[in-house]
Structure 1
Amino acid sequence: MSKLQNHTHDGQAPGRQTRDRSEPRFPGGPVADPAGSHHERRIRSFQPRRSRVTTGQGDALQRLWPLWGFEIDGHGTLDPAEMFGGLPVVLEIGFGMGEATAQMAAADPGTGILAVDVHTPGQGNLLGLAERNGLSNVRVANGDAIILLREMLVPGSLDGMRVYFPDPWPKKRHHKRRLIQPEFLTLAAKCLKPGAVLHCATDWEPYAEQMLDVLSAHPDFENTQEDGGYAPRPAFRPLTRFEGQGLDKGHVVNDLLFRRVG
């Protein structure tokens, strides 16, 4: 169990317990900031979300994290193929509650999915889905994907990368927080094999336009679409509940599929 402390001062009632925030919320589960302050910081493109975890999600985190969880701590190198017993591996950055990830894993058991997020309920939910559906080709990584790409992945070790519905950071002053930037693409290119596809999707049209501009200008990527535009939604990308809600509101969803060249 997490360490608990009894407080009898500072205005708290005797016997009231609070959790030591430096320790995991779930024994053996993901930690709040696996890389700590030991590695160069950049502007984060995500906001850690430690919202309410259900009993089932918490149970999955406690039981399954030691088996299928991975902390992005910035220490050592990782060869994804070894993690998945030699399977080709796709990195998914930001998976929400994991329903689409689980569907893609079930539809393509010959591909390993290394799914990265910082959303604790989603981590637990995906682990539970993987167990219930017998998915041995899913691993869940906790932490900043930038640190994973920059410091931990073996170059040329990924067979694909997926970034579905990243935070659009709609306010102009926050655009620098958007994930799809030239610096990110350079890191992604280093980790992707030649011919591997980076697949992005967003329902925020101004962000889609920026994605298309930045990807088209990057020397390490080429558009898979002959017309240089957006791609039809591939059959392998499930229509998520979040996406359906956006479509109901009149949002336009754009897919971008760019191939690693060289």
Structure 2
Amino acid sequence: MGVMLTDEWMKKDFNRPIKMMERLKSTFNNNLDVEMIYHYLLKHGMYSPNKKTKLTWEHLKENNAWEKTQSLFTSYNKLWGGPDVPIYIFPLMSSGMWNKKVEMKSGLAFKDKLFLFYDKGIAEKEMEAVLIHEYHHVCRLHHLKKDQKEFTLLDTMIMEGLAERTVGKYLGTKYLAKWTKLYQEDKLREFWSKYLQEKHTIKRTDPLHDVLLLGMKGYPNMLGYCSGYYLVRKSEKLSVKKSFSIQSEEFLPKKN
């Protein structure tokens, strides 16, 4: 499948993104309506129609973002032997005066599809970084014999950590997400014992899951993401293919 022609969709419906969601409805296997799908994607970086995002779309077309992403996906799909899933590319949300974006891209992965959101001026290596991260999620979801409703906070943390570790393996530290560098190791050890050691088994459906993962409501920023990367980054001998199926519990800190 690979990259879908969302650039063609936007020729007709750029200003009507909810209308475009009708093309996606059949790929969601639950009772989500088109408004719910759009608002879910908005939370993860999808654009709202305005002058800035229209310019972003035009810039992405001029710079062959769809063709470049397809070439990258073909390479990693073959290299990893991963599933052939549809990829939907859209402009990234615009940043206002009080909402400065740090990253040039965002993404959202499911077992059977992935979404990529690009900003204007994104370099090909940045496209590669987000594709590696999100496609790693797809491959891990494909290999883990676990319903996503049963995922624990630890599962999500390790999922994020392994995906970003893989970015570093292929592209080097320059292309790691900014959140990988927020805290020193001693601070992350402290966070683990203070906030996560007793809570890592909570389920994805627990409201506290996202609070801890993202570091909201007074918790350290990006707590779960940073801690997941901290737990996996020293696994030097772990191959990329093994990282698709290794159990999250393998990365729990050893008790003294």
- Which range, TM-score by smaller chain? 0.3 to 0.5
More strand by share: 1
Bigger-Rg structure (1/2): 1
**TM-score normalised to the size of structure 2?**
0.33
Q: TM (normalized to structure 1)?
A: 0.32
Which structure is higher in helix share? Answer: 2
